Amino acid sequence: MRLGNFVLPVLLLLGVSIQPAWGQSGLEVLNVTTGAEGEQTYSVTLQILILMTLLSLLPAGLIMLTSFTRIIIVLALLRQGLGTQQTPSNQVLIGLALFLTLFVMTPVFDRVHSAAVEPYMQEQLGPEQAVVEASGPIREFMLAQTRENDLAMFARISGRDGFESPDDVPFTLLIASFVTSELKTAFQIGFLILIPFLIIDLVVAGVLMSMGMVMLSPLIISLPFKVMLFVLVDGWALIMGTLASSFFT
């Protein structure tokens, strides 16, 4: 999948309007021109300003609107359970989380690209219509991963009684509910991952205490056993496969 298939849907979702600027003799002032049919055309200077502002929000969109949050938390808990300190490094974990996120979100981005990006680039859709079309697949993905009780909690806090259909859920409310559900799911998966490592730590600590070696840190002895267990069960394949499949069930 091309990088543009990922960047353009996020920019469209955030409401960016990019118009071709070839043939411009210079930068115009910040203005908005209304056409004969009611369409609005933004000056090049205003387009650049909007684009640079939305690019600064792109990392937040990546974290809040995709599977990145769940994946990076689980990987961080896995490293904590292994007790390997900074191995794998933060850069490696973020890289794994990023590319696994691209794998999980590829079907969603493909739908956004075909429904909104391509028609917009071919001038078949206006900016507002493209934003609506782009938000549809992302909204469906987020709703599928969001717990109903989290959605009801934020609806109650915002003073809303209920929603007749998923399309009636405001996007701001959906984002808050989605992130809360992702945090819950990530810690549930992390809890199951940490249990085997905790058992090994308890066994090693008990053996060392029974031998009177109370001054020796159990982590030094348990680390090789935890790494050996993780390798024998093909832990990386299990973790990555479980994380990927958790978004498709």
Q: What pLDDT, on a 0 to 100 scale, did the predictor assign at position 187?
A: 93
> Which residues on adjacent β-strands are paired with residue 41?
33
Give me 96's structure tokens.
């794994």
pLDDT band at 75 (very low <50, low <70, confident <90, very high): very high
Section 37-61 average pLDDT: 66
Q: What pLDDT, on a 0 to 100 scale, did the predictor assign at position 61?
A: 75
| Rounded-to-integer distance, Cα 168 and Cα 107, Å | 24
Q: What pLDDT, on a 0 to 100 scale, did the predictor assign at position 46?
A: 62
The pLDDT tens digits of the residues spanning 120-142 come to 777 777 767 777 777 788 888 88
Report percent pLDDT > 70 for the chain.
78
Check whether 143 has a pLDDT greater than 50. yes
Range in 14-28, 96-110, 233-247 with the lowest mean pLDDT: 14-28
Contacts 24+ apart (CB under 8 A), 224-228: 225/200, 226/81, 226/82, 226/83, 226/197, 226/200, 227/82, 227/84
Q: What pLDDT, on a 0 to 100 scale, did the predictor assign at position 195?
A: 92
pLDDT band at 249 (very low <50, low <70, confident <90, very high): low
Coil, strand or helix: which one is 25?
Answer: coil
- DSSP string of 34-54, one letter each residue: E-TTS-EEE-HHHHHHHHHHH
Section 189-214 average pLDDT: 86
